[in-house]
C-alpha cells in the first residue's frame, strides 16, 4: 500500500510543516506532541519502496523525517514527496487515534472470539442461525446453482 | 542536507552514523548488518538511547549501500516494535 | 544548497470515541471501511468526514449499515462481532488440512518457469519409497483437522504411481478408525499418463488437476516436453477428454467431476489472454486461475524471455477480469480463481481457508509438505528452498520428528509471526487486511527476509491491486448485476469428500 492508498480527504483545519530540501531529499520537522511516534513510524514505513528513509531526533519532542529519492529526482518530485509525506503523517495520526480509542474494544472482541469460545453445540447453533439468515436473504438469487439458471 | 546522507554517497571509505534508539533498535541494526554482511562492515556501539555506527563499504559496485542498510535497519526496528506492542513472538 | 519552505495541509477532525474499530482506504473517489471480520462499507468522502467527526446522524442513509457492522460506537455489539470473527477465522487451531506429498522429483517436461526442483527421468533415487510413503500417511493423519486433502506433486507425480496408489489405499484403511473427510488429488502434466493409471484414478475417485497454459502455441511454448516430438498440448487435452468421458460413464455429475486446470502466465501468454479464457470455457472448465510467475528458481535464468513487471501483469489481469465478467453477463459460466478466493472473504461470512492467502499463512499450520525422502517442510516453497541448497525451512524427517514436533516447530512459529497481519507494519492498518495474506517463504526467496519490507513485496502490490479491482467494480454496480455474478463465484459445491469406493 502506498501513502496515497491510505490518505483520505476529510479536511477541516490546516496543518503547517517546516520542510527542508537539498535537491535530493526532503526533511519534515515534526512535533512529537502532535504526532505520536507510532504515526511517524507508520508514515515513514510507507515510503520504503520509493525512498531512502531516515529518522532523527534533533531535540526533545522533535523528530526529523528525511526522504531521499532512490534515483535523481524529476522536477517537482521532491515537492510532491513532501506533500505526500505530510498527508501520510496526518492520515497515520488519525489511524493511531482510532486504534487507541478502539483498542480495548478490539481486545475484548478478540478475547471473546478466540479465548472464550462457547461449547461446540453453541457454535453449531450459531452457524446454523447465520446460514439460515443468509439463505433467507437472497435477493440476487445467488443460491440458484449455475447450471439451473442464467448468470 | 544531512551530513550522514552526504557521507553515504561516498562509494567507499568509512562513515560514522548516530541512530536514535527511539527509531532504531539494536536488534534491528544487527539484523540489517547481517543482511549486508560482505557488502558493508558495521560496528555498533553506544545505545540504547543513541547507537553509534562505524560503517565501511566493502563492495563499491553496489550503489547507495549505506542507504539500503538504513532502510533495512528501520524496517527491522519498526517491525519488531509492532510485534513487541502486540506481544507476538515466535 | 538547502532550501526551507512551509507546507500547509488539511487536517482531519476526529471524535474517536464515536467510532468502532475499523480500517479504511480509498477506492476510486470513495472510502472503503473494513472490519476484522471482513465486513465492509463504502462511503463518499464527505460522509467519511462526517463519520470521523462523529456527526453522522441516525437519519443518514449510511447510518444503519455502519452501526450493524460495528463501525459506530453507538450500539456496538461486541458479542456479535466476536461471533462473526470466530466464524471468519475458524481455521485457527484447526491443524493442517493439506498434505503435499512429493512422490518423485523426476519429470519429463522442462518448463521455463518450473519451481519444483525437477530432475531428469533417469534419477530414480528421487522416487519416494513405499516405506517412506507409509510413514508420511501415518504422520499426517495425526492432524487434528477433520478434513484432509492429500495432494500428490512432483516432479511429475504419476511417474511414481505406486506411491500414489499406496497412499490412497493406506490412508483410507487408516481412516476406517480416524473417520476424517479425505480427499486425494494428483497434480499431473498428463504426459506420463496411461490408460491403466487413468482408470485407477477414476475408479478410486482421485481428483485430477493438470496444467493448461492456453492454446496449443502457448502451451507447447511454455511447457516443452523433454525428448519428444509429440506436442504436450495434444496429450494434455486428449487425457482431459478421456477423464471427463470416464466420469460421465461412471455416472458422476460432470458439473462437479471434471479435470481442473491451472495456468501460469508468461509474457507469451499475455499476448493470448482472451484465447486462454475462451479455451477454458470451450473445455467446460469453470475456474480459470490467472497466476503470475514467481520470479525465482528457474525463472530467474530466463526472466528476460518470459518475465514481466507486476504492473504489466496487473494490467493483463484487469483486462482478463473484465473479459470474464463480460462473458458472465452473456450467460457463460466462468470465474477467475484468485478473485473467487477474495470474494469469498469479502461477500460471505466464511473464509475459504486458502493456505496462501490468510493470516497467519497456512505454512505449517494449514498445510504440510513431505519431500520424496520423508523430509518435512511447512509448504512446497520450503522444499524448493531446500532444493536450492538452503535447509532453513526443513522441519525434520518422518523417521524422527513427530507430527506435533513438526507443526509446533520454531520455524512454523516464526512463519506464523511473520504472516500475522496485525503484527506487521503497514498491514496492521491496511484496509485490505481482512482479505489479504502475506507469504514469508516467498519473502525469504525474494529478499532473504521472512518479514520483508512490506511496500517492496510483489504480493502486497498484487493482492492490493486485485482486491481494489473487485471493490471498484462493486462500487460502480448500480444495478447489482456485478455483485450477483461475484456472489455466484463464491458458491462451492463440494464433490463429496472421500468418496472411498471400497467403503
Distance from CA of B48 to the nearest CA of C (A): 22
Q: Which domains does chain A have, with CATH numbers?
A: 3-111 (3.30.70.60)
Q: What pLDDT does A121 receive?
A: 44
Between B and C, how many residue pairs show a Cβ–Cβ distance under 8 A? Answer: 33
Q: What is the 3-state secondary structure (H, E, C) of chain B?
A: CCHHHHHHHCCCEEEEEEEECCCCCHHHHHHHHHHCCCCEEEEEEECCCEEEEEEEECCCCCCCHHHHHHHHHHHHHHHHHHHHHHCCCC
Q: What span, in angstroms and rounded, lies between the C-alpha atoms of A92 and A97?
A: 9
Domain region containing B30: 3-85
- Per-residue b/e over A72-107, b at no fewer than 16 CB within 10 Å? ebeeeebeebbbbbbbbbbbbbbbbbbbebbeebbe
Ranked by mean pLDDT, the top range of A133-137, B58-62, C477-481 is C477-481
pLDDT of C240 > 60? The answer is yes
Q: Residue A125: pLDDT band by 50, 70, 90 thresholds? A: low
The shortest C-alpha distance from A25 to chain C (Å) reads 10
* CB of B83 less than 8 A from some CB of C: yes
Q: Specify the pLDDT at position B88.
A: 58
Say yes or no to pLDDT of A144 above 60: no
What is C32-67 written as a DSSP string? Answer: EEE-TTS-EEEEEHHHHHHHHHT---TTSTTHHHHH
Q: Average pLDDT of chain A?
A: 79
Say whether pLDDT at C53 is over 90. Answer: yes
> In this complex, which of C7, C331, C485 lies closest to A82 when CB atoms are compared?
C7
Cell readout for A24 is: 535530493
B82 touches chain C (CB under 8 A): yes
Q: What is the pLDDT of residues C400-417, one digit of tens each?
A: 999 999 999 999 999 999
pLDDT at A119: 44
Spans of all domains in chain C = 16-88, 98-287+295-309+349-384
pLDDT at C459 over 70: yes
All chains having 3 or more CB pairs closer than 8 angstroms to chain B: A, C
Q: The cell 480509542 sits on which residue? A: A101
Specify the fold of C98-287+295-309+349-384.
TIM Barrel (3.20.20)
Q: Which residues contact C7 (CB under 8 A, 6 or more apart)?
A: A16, A17, A18, A19, A28, A82, A83, A86
Cell of B50: 543513541
Closest Cα partner for C108 from C168, C194, C167, C185? Answer: C194
Residue A2 has pLDDT above 80, yes or no: no
The answer, yes or no, to whether residue A127 has pLDDT greater than 90, is no
Partnered with residue B54 across adjacent β-strands are B16, B43
Has residue B90 got a pLDDT over 70?
A: no
Contacts of A98 in chain C (CB under 8 A): 14, 16, 19, 21-22
Instruction: Measure C71 CA to nearest chain B CA, in Å.
Output: 22
The pLDDT-based confidence of A66 (bands split at 50, 70, 90) is very high
Residues of C in contact with B34 (CB under 8 A): none
Query: Taking CB atoms and an 8 Å cutoff, what residues of chain B touch A70?
Result: 64
For the stretch B17-70, pLDDT in tens is: 999 999 999 999 999 999 999 999 999 998 789 999 999 988 877 778 999 999
CB contact under 8 A, C428 and B78: no
Highest mean pLDDT among A143-147, B4-8, C288-292: C288-292
In a 3-state reduction of DSSP, which class is residue C30? strand
pLDDT average, residue stretch A45-66: 96
The residue of chain A with its CA nearest to that of B6 is A24
Inter-chain contact B1–A55, Cβ cutoff 8 Å?
no
Residues 6 or more apart in contact with residue C449 via CB below 8 angstroms = B35, B72, C443
Cβ–Cβ of C333/A151 closer than 8 Å? yes
Report the CATH number that the domain containing residue B44 is assigned in CATH: 3.30.70
Instruction: Tell me what pLDDT residue C226 has.
Output: 61
Q: Pick from C420, C448, C453: which is nearest to B88 by CB?
A: C420
More confident residue, B7 or C443: C443
- Do the Cβ atoms of A52 and B68 come within 8 Å? yes
Smallest Cβ–Cβ distance between B1 and the set C2, C416, C428 belongs to: C2
Does residue B90 fall inside a structural domain?
Answer: no
Which residue from C minimizes the CA distance to A48?
Answer: C455
Of the candidates B75, B76, B83, the beta carbon closest to that of C423 is on B83
Report whether C21 contacts A31 (CB < 8 A): no
Confidence category of residue A151, pLDDT binned at 50, 70, 90: very low
Hey, is the C-beta of B7 within 8 angstroms of any chain A C-beta?
Answer: no
Give the mean model confidence (pLDDT) for residues C489-496: 80
pLDDT at B7: 44
Does residue B66 form part of some domain?
Answer: yes
pLDDT score at A130: 44
On chain A, the residues whose CB falls within 8 A of the CB of C329 are: 151
Indicate the number of domains in chain B.
1
User: Dihedral angle at the C-alpha atoms of C305, C309, C312, C313, nearest 10 degrees?
Assistant: 90
Rounded CA separation C304/C301 (Å): 8
Residues of chain C contacting residue B72, judged by C-beta atoms under 8 Å apart:
449, 453
DSSP H/E element including C474? helix C458-475
Amino acid at each position: 500500500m502506498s501513502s496515497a492508498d491510505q490518505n483520505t480527504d476529510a479536511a477541516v483545519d490546516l496543518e503547517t510543516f517546516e520542510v527542508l530540501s537539498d535537491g535530493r531529499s526532503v526533511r519534515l520537522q515534526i512535533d512529537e506532541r502532535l504526532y505520536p511516534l507510532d504515526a511517524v513510524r507508520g508514515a515513514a514505513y510507507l515510503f520504503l519502496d520509493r525512498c531512502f528513509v531516515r529518522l532523527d531526533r534533533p531535540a526533545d519532542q522533535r523528530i526529523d523525517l528525511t526522504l531521499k529519492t532512490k534515483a535523481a529526482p524529476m522536477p517537482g518530485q521532491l515537492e510532491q514527496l513532501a506533500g505526500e509525506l505530510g498527508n501520510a503523517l496526518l492520515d497515520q495520526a488519525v489511524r493511531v487515534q482510532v486504534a487507541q480509542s478502539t483498542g480495548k474494544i478490539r481486545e475484548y472482541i478478540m478475547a471473546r472470539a478466540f479465548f472464550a469460545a462457547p461449547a461446540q453445540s453453541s457454535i453449531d447453533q450459531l452457524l446454523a442461525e447465520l446460514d439460515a439468515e443468509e439463505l433467507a436473504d437472497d435477493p440476487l438469487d445467488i443460491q440458484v446453482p449455475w447450471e439451473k439458471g442464467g448468470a | 542536507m544531512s551530513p550522514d546522507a552526504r557521507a553515504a554517497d561516498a562509494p567507499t571509505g568509512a562513515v560514522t552514523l548516530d541512530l536514535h534508539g527511539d527509531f532504531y533498535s539494536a536488534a534491528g541494526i544487527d539484523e540489517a548488518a547481517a543482511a549486508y554482511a560482505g557488502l558493508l562492515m558495521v560496528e555498533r556501539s553506544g545505545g540504547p538511547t543513541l547507537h553509534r555506527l562505524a560503517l565501511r563499504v566493502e563492495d563499491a559496485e553496489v550503489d547507495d549501500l549505506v542507504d539500503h542498510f538504513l532502510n533495512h535497519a528501520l524496517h527491522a526496528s519498526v517491525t519488531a516494535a509492532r510485534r513487541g506492542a502486540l506481544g507476538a513472538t515466535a | 544548497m538547502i532550501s526551507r519552505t512551509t507546507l500547509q495541509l488539511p487536517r482531519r477532525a476526529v471524535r474517536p470515541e464515536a467510532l468502532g474499530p475499523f480500517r479504511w482506504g480509498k477506492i476510486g473517489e470513495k472510502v472503503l471501511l473494513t472490519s476484522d471480520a471482513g465486513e465492509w462499507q463504502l462511503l463518499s468522502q464527505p460522509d467519511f468526514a462526517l463519520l470521523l467527526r462523529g456527526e453522522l446522524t441516525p437519519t443518514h442513509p449510511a447510518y444503519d449499515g455502519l452501526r450493524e457492522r460495528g463501525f459506530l460506537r453507538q450500539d456496538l455489539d461486541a458479542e456479535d462481532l466476536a461471533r462473526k470473527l470466530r466464524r471468519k477465522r475458524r481455521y485457527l487451531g484447526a491443524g493442517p488440512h493439506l498434505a503435499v506429498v512429493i512422490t518423485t522429483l523426476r519429470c519429463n517436461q522442462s518448463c521455463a518457469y518450473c519451481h519444483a526442483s525437477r530432475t531428469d527421468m533417469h534419477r530414480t533415487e528421487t522416487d519416494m519409497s513405499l516405506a517412506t510413503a507409509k510413514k508420511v500417511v501415518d504422520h499426517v493423519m495425526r492432524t487434528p483437522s477433520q478434513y484432509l486433502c492429500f495432494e500428490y506433486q512432483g516432479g511429475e507425480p504419476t511417474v511414481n504411481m505406486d506411491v500414489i496408489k499406496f497412499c490412497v489405499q493406506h490412508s483410507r484403511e487408516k481412516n476406517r478408525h480416524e473417520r476424517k473427510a479425505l480427499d486425494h488429488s494428483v497434480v499431473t502434466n498428463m504426459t506420463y499418463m496411461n490408460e491403466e493409471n487413468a482408470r485407477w484414478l477414476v475408479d478410486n475417485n482421485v481428483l485430477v488437476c493438470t496444467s493448461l497454459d492456453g492454446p496449443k502455441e502457448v502451451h507447447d511454448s511454455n511447457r516443452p516436453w523433454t525428448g519428444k516430438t509429440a506436442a504436450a498440448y495434444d496429450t494434455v487435452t486428449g487425457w482431459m477428454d478421456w477423464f471427463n468421458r470416464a466420469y460421465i460413464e461412471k455416472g458422476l455429475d460432470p458439473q462437479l467431476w471434471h479435470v481442473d486446470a491451472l495456468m501460469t502466465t508468461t509474457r507469451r501468454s499475455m499476448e493470448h489472454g482472451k484465447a486462454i479464457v475462451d479455451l477454458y470455457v470451450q473445455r467446460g472448465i469453470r475456474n480459470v486461475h490467472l497466476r503470475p510467475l514467481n520470479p525465482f528458481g528457474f525463472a530467474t535464468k530466463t526472466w528476460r524471455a518470459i518475465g514481466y513487471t507486476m504492473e504489466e501483469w496487473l494490467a493483463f489481469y484487469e483486462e482478463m477480469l473484465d473479459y470474464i465478467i463480460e462473458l458472465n453477463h452473456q450467460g457463460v459460466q466462468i470465474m477467475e480463481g484468485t478473485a473467487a478466493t477474495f470474494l469469498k472473504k469479502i461477500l460471505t461470512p466464511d473464509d475459504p481457508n486458502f493456505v496462501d492467502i490468510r493470516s497467519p499463512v497456512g505454512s505449517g499450520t494449514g498445510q504440510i509438505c513431505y519431500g520424496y525422502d520423508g523430509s518435512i517442510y511447512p509448504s512446497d516453497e520450503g522444499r524448493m528452498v531446500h532444493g536450492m541448497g538452503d535447509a532453513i525451512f526443513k522441519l525434520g524427517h518422518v523417521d524422527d520428528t513427530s507430527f506435533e514436533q513438526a507443526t509446533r516447530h520454531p520455524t512454523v512459529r516464526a512463519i506464523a509471526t511473520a504472516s500475522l497481519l496485525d503484527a506487521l507494519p503497514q498491514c496492521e492498518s491496511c484496509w485490505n487486511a481482512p482479505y489479504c495474506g502475506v507469504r514469508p517463504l516467498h519473502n525469504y526467496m525474494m529478499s532473504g527476509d521472512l518479514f520483508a519490507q512490506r511496500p517492496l513485496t510483489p504480493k502486497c502490490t498484487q493482492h492490493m491491486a486485485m482486491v481494489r479491482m473487485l471493490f471498484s467494480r462493486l462500487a460502480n454496480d448500480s444495478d447489482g448485476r456485478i455483485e450477483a455474478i461475484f456472489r455466484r463465484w463464491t458458491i462451492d459445491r463440494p464433490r463429496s469428500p472421500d468418496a472411498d469406493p471400497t467403503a
